Amino acid sequence: MSNTLSRGLAVLILFVVPLALTGCAGSGRMDANPSQAKAKSDTPKADEKKNDDKAEKLAKELESMQQTLERMERELAIKELSLQKTEHSRKLSLTQSEQTIKRAERELAMAQRKMEKFLNEDVPQRIQRAELGLKYTQDRFQEAQEELNQLELLYNEEEFAEKTKEIVLERGRRRLARSEENLQLSQRDVRILKEITIPVERDEWKHRVHDKELELQKKRRDLEINRIAQEIAILNAQNALQKQHEDIENQQDKITEKREALEELE
């Protein structure tokens, strides 16, 4: 009987132990499946959040780039106005310089005409008048001398009161002396006029004309320098404007690329 009982326990063990092991394995499989399912369900959400973050970043970058583009367009408008101002300033400056040159040319021509008049008309007339005055003075001196000689002859030949004779002769001598002094002064004036006054005035006129020539040359050089400076200013303004156009085009291309990247995420 004991042998029969032993066999029954053995059979029971053979059936119970495999079932127990099978239950444990099934339980383990059941515990593992929810974890894997949860991991699979979390992956799309993470990708979606990552895309949202990237899209938000791109949207902010796009907004900043758009603001930069608007600022660049405002700067473009300012540079266009600056170019117009530079062109107007160039025209005005060149016009004023040309007017200044014309005025300097007129002043030079006037100075040259005045110098020619001085040399060809004034100088000969002044010398002629001075020499004519000298001749009158010489004539008066000679007349005074002749009058004194006649008085002396007259009073020597006839009998007159001694006192009257001296008064008349002394008057003639004074007149002769004054005529001689006047003659000497006239001679000196003519000499000074020819040797000093006219040469000095001639040199002054030459210097005036030369100064006007130098002034005209300087104004012409200033005009050329001003013209070059204005042209450089216009070229710089045009280059700045062209560069601004290129920068705006580049910025627009970047905005287009950024917008396309954002649309792909959406």
For the segment 90-111, what is each residue's pLDDT rounded down to a tens digit? 999 999 999 999 999 999 999 9
The ranges assigned to domains in the chain are 65-265
Measured distance CA(256)–CA(250) in Å, rounded: 10
Amino acid at 251: Q
The pLDDT confidence band at residue 162, using thresholds 50, 70 and 90, is low
Average pLDDT over residues 45-66: 82
Distances (CA, A) of 114 to 61, 109, 174: 78, 9, 45
Measured distance CA(148)–CA(141) in Å, rounded: 11
Give me the percent of the chain exceeding a pLDDT of 90. Answer: 51
CB 82 within 8 A of CB 239: no
222 pLDDT exceeds 50?
Answer: yes
pTM for the structure as a whole = 0.60
132 pLDDT exceeds 50?
Answer: yes
Say which residue, 46 or 217, is predicted with more confidence: 217
Say which residue, 122 or 47, is predicted with more confidence: 122
* pLDDT tens sequence across 163-191: 666 777 777 788 888 888 888 998 999 99
Average pLDDT over residues 14-33: 44
22 pLDDT exceeds 50?
Answer: no
Average pLDDT over residues 182-204: 92
pLDDT of residue 173: 82
pLDDT of residue 48: 74
Chain-wide mean pLDDT for the chain?
Answer: 81
pLDDT of residue 27: 43
The pLDDT confidence band at residue 20, using thresholds 50, 70 and 90, is very low
pLDDT of residue 59: 86
pLDDT of residue 147: 85
Give me the percent of the chain exceeding a pLDDT of 70. Answer: 79
CA–centroid distance for 168 within its chain: 85
**How many CB atoms lie under 10 A from the CB of residue 80?**
14
Sign of CA pseudo-dihedral 191, 193, 197, 202:
negative
14-28, 138-152, 249-263, range with greatest mean pLDDT: 249-263
138 pLDDT exceeds 70?
Answer: yes
Measured distance CA(154)–CA(151) in Å, rounded: 5
CB 189 within 8 A of CB 130: yes
pLDDT of residue 258: 86
Question: Quick one: residue 136, left, alpha or beta (phi over 0 = left, psi -120 to 50 = alpha)?
Answer: alpha
Specify the residue for token string 């004779």: 165
31 pLDDT exceeds 60?
Answer: no
124 pLDDT exceeds 80?
Answer: yes
